[in-house]
Amino acid sequence: MAGPSTNRQAAGANRAETGPEANRAGTGPDSNPAGAGSDSNRTGTAPNTIPAGAGPTTDPTATGPDITPARTAAPDTNQTDPGPTTTRTGTRPNTNPTATAPDTTPAPTAPDTNRIDAAPDTNRTDAAPTTTPPPTAPVTNWAGNIRFRASRRAAPGCVDDVRELVAASRTVRVLGTGHSFNDLADTTGLLLATSALPKSVEIDARAGTVTVGAGVRFGELTGVLHASGHALHNLGSLPHISVAGACATGTHGAGVGNPSLAAAVRALELVTADGELLTLDRSDERFPGSVVALGALGVVTRVTLGLVPAFDVRQWVYEGLPTAALRDGLDEVLSAAYSVSLFTRWRGERVEQVWLKQRVDGAAPVCLPGARLADGPRHPVPGMAPEACTPQGGVPGPWHTRLPHFRLEHIPSSGAETQSEYFVARSDASAAFAALDRVREEFAPVLRIGEVRAVAADDLWLSPAHRRDSVAFHFTWLPDAPAVAQALHHVERALAPFAPRPHWGKVFVTPPETLRERYEHHDRFRRLMTALDPAGKFRNDFLRRHFPEA
């Protein structure tokens, strides 16, 4: 496909962005070149790190890095979202014949844009004209602990605008819903948000796939899929994240038989550095390096996912499981249901909660000796209202209303937090649990909650579960950056014998040379970056640290 013309590039760039013109944004590399200063993955050391819990903020008038404190309330991302548009081809598959009646829990409703009293009175002569500013990328990530240094921010409304913006810019980074907790998405050039791209959903029942626009969030997709008799193999803890962003960072759910969300990708479309469209599928030898790609190869605009027939799930919460039962029996507990999560504050001799999510067509969950069934709904974070969580108590319901921990209409997790996560081989999980338990006093005081989940292996080059059935140890930290930085060193030292791989979108202090040793295709991915982006348009400090040029 021919690239956009020069005139279209200029028009698109002026139409969709804020801040100074394109030539000002990319006059040089990001202001902190690789190797200069401290590693901004080390919590509290990055120059753009601010207190967590602020939520993303936008400033359409800003022309450079905004250093004012972030506002304290996260925006209601459901308020103005029109929802996805759906196209279906093929026939509706047979749904799970053993599934029970559908969940009657009402879904959140969109604002009523047809109300007469919602429109302005255009007949009033004294009414001042109103204008809606164009959408733009936010100033901070979701947690508010990272303030982006972008000199320009844009939220293009179509793929053609993406192509024009990319072709006209010297440096670009892409932002989904902003749920990364480090500087992975940061740039001093153009920050391009996918949130305003068309929320298209195209179901191909014959092929068993769905193709979605990059701005579609899982919570906007899953109800559409279920209504047509389809499902995804798994979901993450929260439905608020974008499909493209979650796949690009190796985000996952739980279950010994369930690989990461990225493992469902069948094809993807991306805008490369020259503004061209490139489609990659599983027949392409570059495909395994292009799915979990950290935004390093281009701007993903469409993703095709494999589907399974819709199914129903029951969810139970158990409390007080003795940690002694996990020293030799962790794998048995993690295998007890389709999806299992252990929540612990790493204090005392019991795990606070075990969440079991079982398909109704599967075996009943095993008994957890020493644990008791919760007598009501629970939230995994102490002190948080359980109304934010998906239905529990064994009541059956559609897969998409049980597999996530949190409801789309509520703020996920605690908000005021940063996160870390480390993947070890499933065969080492019990020993890794014991190693962390021995040093818990070094990190528990700054921990809000921890979570332990199993993740099946995949073949994606940069997936933390690449060719290794894994158990992921997750940490949700209090918003105390210096204390978290110290805690991470204790956690990583304890896990070092098990060659842990950190989640790319969360906070870690693992040296780049160590990560290179833990990913057999690290150098191959670096060569793919150079082939698709020879000038380094999509590189930033994070990528230069972890994938330095040869």
* Span 46-100, pLDDT tens digits: 333 443 443 444 433 333 333 233 333 333 333 334 456 666 655 444 444 333 3
Range from 32-46, 332-346, 525-539 carrying the lowest mean pLDDT? 32-46
Q: How far, in Å, are 30, 34, 79, 420, 509 from residue 39 at the CA level?
A: 14, 9, 37, 15, 8
Q: What confidence category does residue 7 fall into, taking pLDDT thresholds of 50, 70 and 90? A: very low
Element (H, E) at 527: helix 522-532
**Under CATH, what is the fold of the domain 313-509?**
Alpha-Beta Plaits (3.30.70)
Tell me what pLDDT residue 83 has: 59
Report, as an integer, the average pLDDT of 218-247: 97
Tell me what pLDDT residue 521 has: 97
Q: Output the average pLDDT for the chain.
A: 82
Q: What confidence category does residue 132 fall into, taking pLDDT thresholds of 50, 70 and 90? A: low
Q: What confidence category does residue 525 fall into, taking pLDDT thresholds of 50, 70 and 90? A: very high
Residues near 168 by beta carbon (within 8 Å), at least 6 away in sequence: 9, 10, 12, 13, 22
Question: Domain-by-domain residue ranges, the chain?
Answer: 85-103+197-309, 313-509
Q: Name the burial class of residue 512, with classes exposed (0-12), middle (13-18) and buried (19+) by CB atoms within 10 angstroms of its CB.
A: middle
**Is 70 exceeded by the pLDDT of residue 35?**
no
Tell me what pLDDT residue 85 has: 65
- As beta bridge partners, residue 270 has 278, 300
* Nearest alpha-carbon partner for 246 in 227, 220, 208, 226: 220
Q: Are 373 and 387 in contact (CB under 8 A)?
A: no
Tell me what pLDDT residue 49 has: 41
**Is 90 exceeded by the pLDDT of residue 101?**
no
Tell me what pLDDT residue 369 has: 87
For 249-290, the pLDDT digits (tens) are 999 999 999 999 999 999 999 999 999 999 999 999 999 999
- Rounded to whole angstroms, the Cα distance separating 143 from 464 reads 23
Query: What's the whole-model pTM score?
Result: 0.79
**Under CATH, what is the fold of the domain 85-103+197-309?**
3.30.465
For 488-498, the pLDDT digits (tens) are 999 999 999 99
**Is 70 exceeded by the pLDDT of residue 434?**
yes
Tell me what pLDDT residue 382 has: 86
Tell me what pLDDT residue 79 has: 36
Tell me what pLDDT residue 34 has: 35
Helices 429-438, 481-495: inter-axial angle, 10-degree rounding: 130
Q: Are 313 and 206 in contact (CB under 8 A)?
A: no
Report, as an integer, the average pLDDT of 404-414: 84
Share of the chain above pLDDT 90, in %: 69
Report, as an integer, the average pLDDT of 389-408: 96
- As beta bridge partners, residue 355 has 317, 341
Other CB atoms within 10 Å distance of the CB of residue 60 = 13
- Rounded to whole angstroms, the Cα distance separating 437 from 346 reads 7
Q: Which two tokens stand for residue 115?
A: 């109300």
Tell me what pLDDT residue 224 has: 98
Q: What confidence category does residue 413 fall into, taking pLDDT thresholds of 50, 70 and 90? A: low
Tell me what pLDDT residue 328 has: 86
Q: What is the dihedral of CA 101, 105, 111, 113, to 10 degrees?
A: 30
Share of the chain above pLDDT 70, in %: 75
**Is 60 exceeded by the pLDDT of residue 392?**
yes
Tell me what pLDDT residue 87 has: 64
- Rounded to whole angstroms, the Cα distance separating 507 from 200 reads 32
Range from 131-135, 308-312, 393-397, 466-470 carrying the lowest mean pLDDT? 131-135
Tell me what pLDDT residue 327 has: 86
Report, as an integer, the average pLDDT of 438-444: 98
Report, as an integer, the average pLDDT of 444-472: 98
Range from 55-59, 154-158, 272-276, 433-437 carrying the lowest mean pLDDT? 55-59
Range from 116-125, 160-169, 247-256, 298-307 carrying the lowest mean pLDDT? 116-125
Tell me what pLDDT residue 354 has: 98
Tell me what pLDDT residue 498 has: 99
Which position has the higher pLDDT, 123 or 270? 270
Report, as an integer, the average pLDDT of 20-35: 36
Q: Which two tokens stand for residue 153?
A: 């921010």
Which position has the higher pLDDT, 10 or 357? 357
Q: What is the bridge-based pairing of β-strands 172-175 and 418-425? A: unpaired
